[in-house]
Amino acid sequence: MNYLSIEEAISDLRQRGYSIDFSAETEMVCLYCGEMDMRFDPAEFQIDEVHRFDCNSSADNNALLYAISDPASGIKGTLLDALGATSCLLIQHTTAIVQALSLATR
């Protein structure tokens, strides 16, 4: 499915059960859920969908939105990967997590 905005994509994914907002933990390679204050091993998750958003007005607004899930536990959520130049450290950590996620889907 093609979405016009990140907000539209997140709203649709929420309706389809991707209810948890994950972030890249910056101290270790793991997924972090602030709502539950829990860390998860990205190798336990798979990437179900990837959506790319390119904003023509600013490279800092470009992003990838991953819909991810853990088949064993049924946990489903999203991981937003900002592609802007201002978030280099976060991008490095997110890239490591996405690599672990990608390995889990093979």
Ordered by start, the domain boundaries in the chain are 6-104
Q: How far apart are CA 3 and CA 35, in angstroms?
A: 26
pLDDT at 4: 86
Distant-in-sequence, close-in-space partners of 50: CB < 8 Å, separation ≥ 6: 64, 65, 66, 67
pLDDT above 60: residue 90: no
Distant-in-sequence, close-in-space partners of 17: CB < 8 Å, separation ≥ 6: 76
| Residue 105 DSSP symbol | T
Contact (Cβ atoms closer than 8 angstroms) between residue 28 and residue 87: no
Token pair of 54 as six digits: 């390119």
Contact (Cβ atoms closer than 8 angstroms) between residue 64 and residue 10: no
pLDDT above 60: residue 89: no
Average pLDDT over residues 2-20: 94
pLDDT above 80: residue 46: yes
pLDDT above 90: residue 78: yes
pLDDT above 90: residue 29: no
Q: How far apart are CA 61 and CA 46, in angstroms?
A: 25
